[in-house]
Structure 1
Amino acid sequence: MRWVTYDAGAGPRTGILDGEEIFGLAPGVTLLSLLEGDAGTLGEAGDAARRKPEEVRATADVRLLSPLPRPPSIRDGLCFLDHLRGCYRALGRNEDLDSAWSQVPAFYFSNAAAVVGPYDDVPVAPGSRMFDLELEVGMVLGRGGRDLDPRDAESHIVGFTLFNDWTARDHQVRDLALGIGMGKSKDSAITLGPALVTVDELEPYRRDGRLALELSASVNGEEITHGSLDRTDWSLGELIAFVSRGVDLHPGDVIGSGTVPGGCLLEHVDTPDMADFDRWLKPGDVVSLAGRGLGETRQVVRPGVDVLPLSSGC
């Protein structure tokens, strides 16, 4: 099933996407409320929507929102280590990774309040002159859990969606210097959409136990990378299991795969000083992500708001 959240003018609704039509559920029913229900609720609701929808809408007549406009939490992993090597290479750094990267799958907490829809305009992060995209896949949990077994943790995923981790690279330099994790560099926007595609829909793409979903990103129609989800260094189950150590995960939690190698502009920097790179996103640029079986996003970058300076002038 392909679950969407949409607005036809009377507020958000949830429904099943079938071609160019949406079979809507009753007002007040959300994808999150279905995920938080008893086992089988999501499938039963989808079957009921197909048999007897509360309304039927053409996709052309609605605004598609993120399938989960406000997830309980968002964590973003880094399962493609070649993405990190590509960033190091672009910055003129040694590509050898610290041994810590091979000990656990890295992740950080992101801003669940910053989620935007697959076709929403995205403003540049305030004060940023080096705004970037990141091509990822979001895993949505259908079952919670704690201290999960890496061999079984992937079974807690109910579905997948495209995930764009918009990043202010100049702010990230400062975040890294502060040394306490990601801050304003990752705070402005996260795209989820266009749909939550349930695991069963994607089984035809499974190869050797992994989902071989072809993924690509483009800016103004020019493809910047093409990759596949099955090329991660850490499996999706390993990432979820590590995230669950000592904490409770909940239905609706979103965990990002990490960036597909080449799937951000930082990896394409070709100047000694990355501030001189002339391909950072600017107002008017059109950013698209695409995933086999997942659909496509298309978003226009807009000007950001002016920064109100602190006492330091920053």
Structure 2
Amino acid sequence: MKIARRQTDHGPRCAVVDDDLLIDLLIDDSLLDLLRTEDPSRVDDVASAALRNRRTVTPIDEATLLAPLQPPTFRDFSTFPEHIAGIGKNLDPQAEVPEIFWEIPTFYFSNPYAIVGPYDSVPISPGCRDFDFELEVGAVVGRSGRDLGPDDADDHIAGYVVINDFSARDTQFREMQLHLGPAKGKDSSTVLGAFFVTADELDGRRSRASFDLEMRVEVNGVTIGTDTLSNMAWTFPALAAYASRGTWIRPGDLLGSGTCQSGCLAELWGRHGRDAYPALQPGDVVTTHVDVLGGTANEIAPAAPITPIPPWRG
């Protein structure tokens, strides 16, 4: 099943996708409400009931589509080795994949309040000059779990979404000099694709560590990067297992794959030089696409002004 969320005169409403139509669910529950029942069949059951009833039918191209859910937490991992090597070359031209990459599927906590819709405008982060995109796929947790192993964790993933994690690269690289982060550099806008796709929809696309899904990102209609999701070096169940180590993962939690190879400007700057691709500017349109899962299209808007924040010195 594919679940979308559209804006109506009475607020957001979830719908099941049927080709180019949206069929509203017969209940007012959000996708997060459905996941929090921890019943693996709940989403399919309510979607099937909507398809039988077809009470409210809306063409997708006439709908105002929102992010399909507001995740309570967002852990963003790094699972594509070529991306890691390319990013490192911004600081060291000889950088390769560090050994620690193969030891732990590391992540940082991003901002769940920064989630925006698949076709919303995205303002440049305040004070940023090097604004960037990052094409990823996210797994959405469907069942609570703690101290899971990878074999157990697969059953805790309910579905998948496209992610475009916008980043203020100059802010990120500056703040990480304090050996923390990334933090504010990743704090302003994370776009989710229009569709939450249930895990069973990808069963026939399993390949290597992940799924055989082509990924593509464009700026103003020009392809900037392509990759395949199966090039992940860690599986999504491994990410869920690591996230649950010593703590809980709960329904709705979002686990990002991290940026695919050539899925952002900063990696390409590291490989080809800072002048190879310009940073994003107001009016640019960033488009992503992932097989089966769908995509996003966001116009870049100007940054809000910043208010200086001086340190206190006694």
Q: Quickly name the TM-score band, shorter chain normalised.
A: over 0.9
Distance in 2 between the 1:165 and 1:286 partners?
14
Report what 1:285 is aligned to.
284
Question: Partner letter of residue 284 of structure 1?
Answer: G
Report what 2:30 is aligned to.
30
Please state how far the C-alpha of 1:36 moved relative to its aligned partner.
0.8
1:170 equivalenced with 2:174 (yes/no): no
Question: Partner letter of residue 9 of structure 2?
Answer: G
Distance in 1 between the 2:270 and 2:183 partners?
26
Question: Partner letter of residue 46 of structure 2?
Answer: A
Report what 1:52 is aligned to.
53
- SS class of match (2:172): helix
Deviates more, 1:188-197 or 1:26-35: 26-35
Please state how far the C-alpha of 1:306 moved relative to its aligned partner.
0.5
For each residue in 1:49-83, what CA deviation from the matched residue of structure 2 results, as whole angstroms up to 9, or x when unmatched? Answer: 11114411111222100001x21111100011210
- SS class of match (1:203): helix
4+ long deviations beyond 6 Å: 270-273
Question: Partner letter of residue 203 of structure 2?
Answer: E
- SS class of match (2:94): coil
- SS class of match (2:151): coil
Q: Compute the TM-score of the two structures, normalised by the length of structure 1.
A: 0.93
Question: Partner letter of residue 87 of structure 2?
Answer: C
For each residue in 1:175-202, what CA deviation from the matched residue of structure 2 results, as whole angstroms up to 9, or x when unmatched? Answer: 2112122221000010111100111112
Distance in 2 between the 1:67 and 1:260 partners?
22
Distance in 2 between the 1:233 and 1:38 partners?
29
Please state how far the C-alpha of 1:3 moved relative to its aligned partner.
0.4
Report what 1:225 is aligned to.
225
For each residue in 1:140-183, what CA deviation from the matched residue of structure 2 results, as whole angstroms up to 9, or x when unmatched? Answer: 11112011111231221111110011100000012211212222
Assess, with a 3 A threshold, how the Cα gap between structure 1 residues 203 and 271 changes in structure 2: closer, same or farther: closer
Mark the runs of 5 or more structure 2 residues left unpaired by the alignment. Answer: none
Mark the runs of 5 or more structure 1 residues left unpaired by the alignment. Answer: none
Assess, with a 3 A threshold, how the Cα gap between structure 1 residues 91 and 221 changes in structure 2: closer, same or farther: farther
Is contact 1:91-1:272 (8 Å) kept?
A: no
- SS class of match (1:194): coil
Report what 2:124 is aligned to.
124
Distance in 2 between the 1:176 and 1:182 partners?
6
Is contact 1:90-1:268 (8 Å) kept?
A: no
Distance in 2 between the 1:259 and 1:98 partners?
16
Distance in 2 between the 1:242 and 1:45 partners?
31
Assess, with a 3 A threshold, how the Cα gap between structure 1 residues 88 and 3 changes in structure 2: closer, same or farther: same
Is contact 2:162-2:193 (8 Å) kept?
A: yes
Distance in 1 between the 2:92 and 2:223 partners?
24
CA RMSD of aligned residues (A): 2.0
- SS class of match (1:75): strand
Distance in 2 between the 1:272 and 1:225 partners?
13
Residue pairs, 1:120-199, within 5 angstroms: 120-199=120-199
Deviates more, 1:148-157 or 1:192-201: 148-157
1:306 equivalenced with 2:312 (yes/no): no
For each residue in 1:14-71, what CA deviation from the matched residue of structure 2 results, as whole angstroms up to 9, or x when unmatched? Answer: 0101122111024631100011114121111111111114411111222100001x21
Distance in 2 between the 1:48 and 1:152 partners?
30
Distance in 1 between the 2:98 and 2:60 partners?
47
Report what 2:216 is aligned to.
216
Is contact 2:208-2:230 (8 Å) kept?
A: no
Question: Partner letter of residue 198 of structure 1?
Answer: T
Distance in 2 between the 1:67 and 1:177 partners?
35
For each residue in 1:254-281, what CA deviation from the matched residue of structure 2 results, as whole angstroms up to 9, or x when unmatched? Answer: 000011011000122279984x666100
Report what 1:66 is aligned to.
67
Aligned length: 311
Q: Compute the TM-score of the two structures, normalised by the length of structure 2.
A: 0.93
